[in-house]
A and B are shown apart, each in its own frame.
Chain A
Amino acid sequence: MGEKIMVKGTEAIGEAAIRAGCKVYFGYPITPQSELTEYMSRRMPQEGRVFLQAESEVATVNMMYGASSVGVRVMTSTSSPGFSLMQEGISYMANARLPAVFVDVVRGGPGLGDIQPSQGDYFQVVKGGGHGDYRLPVYSPSSLQEAVELTIHAFDVADKYRTPVVIFADGMLGQMMEPVEFPDPVDPSTLPSKDDWALTGARGRKARYVTSFDIDPYKLEQMNLVLQETYKKIEAEEKKWEEFMTDDAEIIFVAHGTVGRIVKSTVKMAREKGIKAGLFRPISLYPFPYERLAELAEKVDIVMTVEMSAGQMLEDVKLAVMGRAETPFYGRLAGVIPTPAEILEAMMKEIRR
């Protein structure tokens, strides 16, 4: 680890990707992630790597498909409407089993929406915005240091399981500054070999296909089953979460990303009032840490979800809690950021009920 430096969230993610060995970055500007694309346009050539601004998000995702096929680490970043445009390509990449990292700096929607922070893409990102039976590992950082660590982790998970992975950020995380320490760059020779599947030139060996297509349903079913096996392994091995003051908690908040961080202040405020609150913060949104949340729900009366959405992660929280506790919800929409005090007020209403 080097010295602490002050960076913007978008820059933290970009630099982390470079240190993770990202060889190729494709992107298209959209607020509030344009600084990430700008950062990569400056840094990737310095490192002798590829930066390419595509003509659209649709082109971007298909360039990702191509670059990943030959076995290099590849990334893009975008914001909500841009991520929508990438869905077809992501579905193709999932079935072609192509590792890649996507960063969605989520903004207010639906439609053109606005450019303020939101978590309204949860369903799209976590439940699959494209067609067919696929899942994507999704990580939701709440600080810039965590964004650095998760970006690097995302590349490793993508390679390990041969799947696209998403970093779920929002405009607040992207625009804020915080000190971070970057780890040393990975030694490319230590990265996992992709020689058994990547398109590296067929001289001296049988030709390979990297495709999401098979006209024979029985063969396509086999491809699907491989995906499903992969998702089982991911669900068994890749769950991540943070608990904050849950040991003696009587009410547990569930919040992810930057909202998870805001709620930490609410928990402290509640404790000053003598209310034993705690926070369960899912870091992997898929795979969602259902089992641990279910255990915690046994011990409390209220599991309260807070999101910058109309209640999307709430559905996963309910699947975990399964009626063991009340599951109220507080959310702000369209790019409005909830404050610690207003979340506290919403909690007090639930307690008095």
Chain B
Amino acid sequence: MEHRIIAAGFGGQGVMLFGQIIALAGMIEDKHVTWLPSYGPEMRGGTANCTVVVSDDPVASPVVDMPNEIAIFNIPSLLKFEPTLAEGGILVMNTSMIDREPQRKDIKVIKIAANDVAEKLGNVKAQNMVMLGAFIETTKVVSKESVFKALEKKMTGKKAAFLDLNKRAVEEGMKLAREQL
């Protein structure tokens, strides 16, 4: 099984971290993983995205032209990546930021008002972790336990203070996705 994932949004929405946590969790599960960021001028103001591959076999191309799972954080990214999603693929979208409907009828769509949820949890910045929870619940790419381990590895020093909030955000996202499955 190979999960070909693209996560996309504005720079600053935590899209890169979203992808890194999935990749790290995949590594913790002894899977083969790659994480490839977009970099350059597009990161300032425009869309930022990263491509993550999580696979049982060694990853050949870290570049993906037809993802089977996408996490979309803003409208420009929806316009750019919805058409590339494989038939039967999964779209998880942040409806706090996207006030329009996806066009495809041949995909599974999970809608999460991630900013609102994160705000209720105490910090809107955790919206990417709400999205992450919804994403792993829907795609089963990695387990919650591995995501938590990855967060513990990643969030050290000053960031450790946000660990608990992030974990709760992941769990909330999972719950909301489960209600839609």
Contact = CB atoms under 8 A, between A and B. Distances in A.
A175 B60 contact: no
B24 A172 contact: no
Contact of B36 (A32, A176, A268): A176
Interface in A329-353: 337, 339-342
B62 A261 contact: yes
Interface stretch (B5-13, B27-35, B119-127, B167-175): B27-35
B39 A32 contact: yes
Contact of A339 (B24, B37, B65): B65
Contacts of A175: 36-37, 39
B60 A261 contact: yes
A294 B107 CA distance: 47
B60 A176 contact: no
Interface string A259-270: 001111111100
Contacts of B39: 32, 115, 171, 175
Given A32-B39, A175-B39, A177-B35, A337 B23 contact: no
Contacts of A177: 20, 23, 34-36
* Most interface-central of B36, B37, B63, B64 (chain A CB within 10 A): B63
Contacts of A114: 40
Interface residues of B, number: 19
B34 A178 contact: yes
* Most interface-central of A32, A175, A178, A340 (chain B CB within 10 A): A178
A4 B27 contact: yes
Interface string A93-130: 00000000000000000000011100000000000000
A266 B64 CA distance: 11
A172 B33 contact: no
B62 A268 contact: no
B73 to A, nearest CB: 20
Nearest to A179: B27
Contacts of A263: 61
Interface in A247-300: 258, 261-268
Contact of B60 (A4, A179, A265, A342): A265
A337 B40 contact: no
Interface in B11-50: 20, 23-24, 27, 33-37, 39-40
A263 B33 CA distance: 17
B40 A340 contact: no
A6 interface: yes
Contacts of B20: 6, 177
A171 B36 CA distance: 10
B106 to A, nearest CB: 18
A176 B38 CA distance: 9
A32 B36 CA distance: 13
B38 to A, nearest CB: 9
Contacts of B37: 175-176
B27 A6 contact: yes
A232 B165 CA distance: 62
B60 A264 contact: yes
A234 B61 CA distance: 31
Given A4-B27, A6-B23, A6-B24, A176 B40 contact: no
A265 B61 contact: yes
A342 B27 contact: no
B66 interface: yes
Interface string A175-195: 111110000000000000000
Nearest to A338: B63
Contact of A268 (B60, B63, B64): B60
A28 B56 CA distance: 39
A340 B63 contact: yes
B33 A179 contact: yes
A25 B40 CA distance: 26
A267 B59 CA distance: 13
Nearest to B37: A175
Contacts of A115: 39-40
Contacts of A261: 60-62
Interface string B51-82: 00000000111111110000000000000000
5 contacts: A115-B40, A171-B39, A258-B62, A265-B60, A340-B60
Given A6-B33, A177-B34, A268-B60, 9 more contacts: A172-B36, A175-B36, A176-B62, A177-B20, A178-B62, A179-B27, A265-B60, A265-B61, A267-B60
Report the 7 A-B pairs with minimum CB-CB distance, sorted nearest first: A264-B60, A265-B61, A339-B65, A177-B35, A265-B60, A262-B61, A179-B27
Interface of A: 4, 6, 32, 114-116, 171-172, 175-179, 258, 261-268, 337, 339-342
